[in-house]
Amino acid sequence: MVSARIFPKINKRKMVRELAQGHESAQRIQALLQKPIGENGPELAGQLVEKVLRSFELGLALLEPSPHQTEENVHKSSFEKHQISGFSSEDSGNRSNNRFVRRDRRGCYKRRKSLEATLVTVSPTMEDGQAWRKYGQKSILNSKFPRSYFRCTHKYEHGCKATKQVQMMEDDPVEYHITYIGIHTCNTHSMMMTANPPHNGDHAKEEVKEKVAEVKESDDSTATIDNLSSLCSSLLEKPAFGLQDGRFEQSEDTVSMMYMLGMEDDEALGRRFCDFHLDESHDF
DNA sequence: ATAATTTGACCACC
DNA sequence: GGTGGTCAAATTAT
pLDDT digits (tens, 9 = 90+) for A105-136: 555 566 666 567 788 989 898 888 889 999 99
Q: Which of A34, A59, A82 is the last residue of a domain?
A: A82
Same domain, A123 and A244: yes
Same domain, A171 and A223: yes
| CB of A261 closer than 8 Å to CB of A232 | yes
Same domain, A142 and A248: yes
| Positions in chain C where some atom is under 7 Å from a protein CB | 2-11
Q: Closest nucleotide to A136's CA, by C1' atom? A: C6
Is residue A154 very low, low, confident or very high in pLDDT (cuts 50, 70, 90)?
confident
Residue A6 belongs to some domain of the structure? no
Between A24 and A11, the more confident residue is A24
| CB of A208 closer than 8 Å to CB of A258 | yes
Is residue A173 very low, low, confident or very high in pLDDT (cuts 50, 70, 90)?
confident
Q: What is the DSSP string of A171-215?
A: -SS--EEEEEES---SSGGGHHHH-------HHHHHHHHHHHHHH
Same domain, A233 and A157: yes
Average pLDDT for A59-71: 49
Q: Which domain holds residue A28?
A: 12-82
Dihedral of the alpha carbons of A22, A24, A28, A33, in degrees to the nearest 10 = 60
Residue A34 belongs to some domain of the structure? yes
Residue A174 belongs to some domain of the structure? yes
Residue A162 belongs to some domain of the structure? yes
* Nearest residue, CA→C1' of C10: A96
Number of domains forming the structure of chain A: 2
% of chain A surpassing 90 pLDDT: 12
Asked which of A21-35, A96-110, A189-203, A261-275 is least confident by mean pLDDT, the reply is A189-203
Query: What is the C-alpha R_g of chain A?
Result: 22
Residue A7 belongs to some domain of the structure? no
CA atom of A183 to C1′ atom of B6, Å: 26
Residue A240 belongs to some domain of the structure? yes
Same domain, A198 and A127: yes
Residue A218 belongs to some domain of the structure? yes
What pLDDT score does A115 carry?
Answer: 63
| Positions in chain B where some atom is under 7 Å from a protein CB | 2-14
Closest residue by Cα to residue A208 from A273, A282, A263, A270: A282
CATH number for the domain that contains residue A234: 2.20.25.80
| CB of A32 closer than 8 Å to CB of A45 | yes
What pLDDT score does A118 carry?
Answer: 84
